[in-house]
């Protein structure tokens, strides 16, 4: 493939790494992560192969919802540093060729934001219509509650003005009225401000909620935001959190136009992946891949194993969800809201390195852009003693002693035992050729060398064994094949590769070696328990990278 194409649309085969500044690295010894600490660890991300850092909220906040309750969209939380520290971090990341995006959380504010304080000061306030007010609350279906353990309504009475304000999340997070043109103009200013400081885009929080209350066609609002983004920087992106069935989600790309959200997370594929892991059978994931619509030309899917929230399983049936609970979170304390798990993958799999390597090999080979949550590269665990979703937002483990901070008093302590810092840390795994860190680094390297995986037309293949997921990706004359055995037994793989004959060989991209192709294109080989194989179709004695560049 032409490298100029992959460079222009950088997000289509990027490697995105989500992190929370507060839990990544403490640079001043006060027990809280900050931009100075993060800046000192940029080289870790560079060595890993990350091409884009996604920052969770770092804005001033009362911190009642881990920074998602924002009081100022134009500054940095003093606990995390200053705007000067932010700019130094941006400069360092840019020097390593790493782009940065940040959370755009504008569906609500904190109730301590000056806008809301002014809005609730009087029914005649100039900012009254910046939020959503009603004399009487609407009825609420309990199934629609985002946080059913904390809230029983979307409406909260404001004693001072005698009206109710809307809050789709916590009561201390009043919803902005995005149907108000003034609010929409302010949101555009927020984008413009941070883009001037170097951001290459935004991860848009809770996109469907953001559009609620917009009169007419609410998707015009997304199209306007995207147009504003493109005017300021044509290469900037919007990465959307849209947890909806595929047919409903396609609207957020802009249907066939691709003029709204640039990239959408594949929540359906993620949930089917975990069900496949629980069953040790990938057929439900294969079904999702066959069902998944192709996004507009310059848009993309984002693939992930888990994100910073609970591992939601809401799009599975009740019985399917129970299968995942039984396999990976049988204790009620491991579950959240009855719909998800507050666990990270390594403890879910009992620390089984072979299954962990399988999981991330699958993620990086799936059609789309891979997104890592910080610590996944080393098998970071969880702390179930923390409240709710904070169980997975634990300090990054840099060294056997922890390495996050010199201050032992941190808001969410590290786990102990098998997944504690002594056994799981960056420093030790960098020196271990068989570690998860080395494996993920290799996967990223091979993924970046195989643009067909992100750009190509893909096809799920019949592998001759239902425990095996096999798919191929083709683009501009290049072909990459990925084969994964989800079972704890050997599998005999039989694949028919249309258009491939004995003039070609399959070059193994994860280990040294090649696989011959018979004249009829019917390839047969054995793959071990939880085995992973990536192949490139090439001519004998041809370098894999030359086979990839055939179309250029």
H helices of 366-435, in order, are: 426-430
Rounded Cα distance, 480 and 470, in Å:
11
Compute and round to an integer the Cα radius of gyration of the chain: 24
What phi and psi values does residue 504 have, to the nearest 5 degrees? -120, 165
- Residue 43, SS3 per DSSP: helix
Write the DSSP symbol of residue 279.
H
What phi and psi values does residue 348 have, to the nearest 5 degrees? -60, -35
Run of H or E including 514: strand 514-516
Residue of 69, 241, 376, 382 with catalytic role: 241
Q: Is 26 a catalytic site residue?
A: no
Quick one: tokens of 534? 């990536």
Quick one: tokens of 415? 């786990």
Interior angle at CA 61, CA 58 and CA 65, nearest 5: 90
Give the torsion through C-alpha atoms of 303, 99, 453, 546, to 10 deg: -160
Percentages (nearest 5) of helix, strand, coil residues in the chain: 35, 20, 45
Nearest partner of 205 among 101, 349, 295, judged by Cα: 101
Residue of 175, 205, 266, 376 with catalytic role: 205
Q: Residue with structure tokens 């258009």? A: 499
The length of the chain in residues reads 552
Q: Is 205 a catalytic site residue?
A: yes
Report yes or no: 407 and 31 within 8 Å, Cβ to Cβ.
yes
Report yes or no: 182 and 194 within 8 Å, Cβ to Cβ.
no
Rounded Cα distance, 92 and 96, in Å:
7
In terms of C-beta density within 10 A (0-12 exposed, 13-18 middle, 19 or more buried), how is residue 115 classed? buried
Quick one: tokens of 408? 């032992």
Q: Which residues are catalytic?
A: 205, 241
């Amino acid at each position: 493939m032409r490298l100029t194409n992959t460079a222009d649309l950088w997000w289509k085969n990027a490697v995105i790494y989500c992190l929370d500044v507060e839990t990544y690295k403490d640079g001043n010894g006060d027990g809280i992560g900050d931009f100075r600490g993060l800046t000192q660890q940029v080289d870790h991300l560079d060595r890993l192969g990350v091409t884009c850092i996604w920052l969770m909220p770092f804005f001033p906040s009362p911190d009642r919802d881990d920074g998602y309750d924002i009081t100022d969209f134009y500054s940095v939380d003093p606990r995390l540093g200053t705007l000067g520290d932010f700019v130094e971090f941006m400069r360092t990341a840019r020097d390593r060729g790493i782009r940065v995006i940040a959370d755009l959380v504008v569906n609500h504010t904190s109730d301590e934001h000056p806008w809301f304080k002014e809005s609730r000061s009087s029914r005649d306030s100039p900012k009254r219509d910046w939020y959503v007010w009603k004399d009487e609350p609407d009825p609420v279906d309990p199934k629609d509650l985002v946080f059913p353990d904390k809230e029983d309504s979307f409406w909260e009475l404001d004693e001072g003005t005698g009206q109710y304000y809307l809050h789709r999340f916590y009561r201390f997070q009043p919803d902005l009225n995005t149907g108000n043109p003034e609010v929409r103009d302010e949101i555009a200013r927020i984008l413009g401000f941070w883009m001037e400081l170097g951001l290459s885009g935004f991860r848009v929080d809770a996109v469907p909620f953001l559009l609620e209350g917009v009169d007419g066609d609410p998707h015009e609002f997304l199209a306007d935001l995207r147009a504003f983004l493109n005017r300021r920087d044509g290469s900037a992106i919007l990465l959307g959190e849209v947890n909806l069935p595929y047919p409903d989600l396609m609207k957020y790309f802009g249907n066939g136009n691709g003029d709204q959200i640039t990239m959408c997370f594949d929540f359906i594929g993620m949930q089917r992946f975990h069900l496949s892991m629980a069953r040790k059978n990938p057929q439900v994931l294969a079904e999702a891949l066959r069902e998944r619509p192709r996004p507009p030309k310059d848009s993309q899917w984002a693939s992930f194993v888990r994100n910073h929230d609970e591992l939601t399983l809401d799009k599975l049936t009740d019985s399917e969800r129970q299968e995942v609970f039984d396999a990976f979170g049988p204790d009620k304390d491991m579950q959240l809201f009855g719909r998800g798990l507050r666990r990270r993958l390594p403890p879910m799999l009992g620390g089984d390195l072979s299954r962990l390597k399988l999981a991330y090999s699958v993620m990086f080979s799936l059609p789309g852009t891979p997104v890592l949550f910080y610590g996944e590269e080393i098998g970071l665990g969880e702390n179930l003693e923390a409240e709710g979703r904070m169980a997975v937002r634990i300090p990054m483990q840099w060294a056997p002693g922890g390495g996050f901070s010199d201050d032992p008093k941190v808001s969410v302590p590290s786990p102990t035992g098998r997944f504690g810092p002594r056994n799981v840390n960056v420093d030790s795994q960098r020196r271990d050729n068989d570690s998860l860190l080395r494996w993920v680094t290799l996967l990223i390297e091979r993924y970046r060398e195989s643009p067909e995986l992100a750009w190509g037309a893909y096809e799920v293949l019949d592998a001759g064994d239902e425990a095996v997921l096999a798919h191929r990706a083709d683009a501009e004359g290049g072909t990459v094949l990925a084969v994964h055995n989800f079972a704890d037994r050997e599998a005999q793989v039989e694949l028919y590769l249309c258009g491939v004959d004995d003039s070609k060989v399959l070059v193994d991209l994860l280990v040294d070696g090649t696989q011959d192709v018979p004249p009829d294109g019917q390839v047969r080989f054995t793959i071990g328990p939880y085995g992973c194989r990536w192949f490139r179709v090439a001519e004998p004695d041809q370098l894999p990278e030359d086979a990839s560049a055939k179309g250029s």
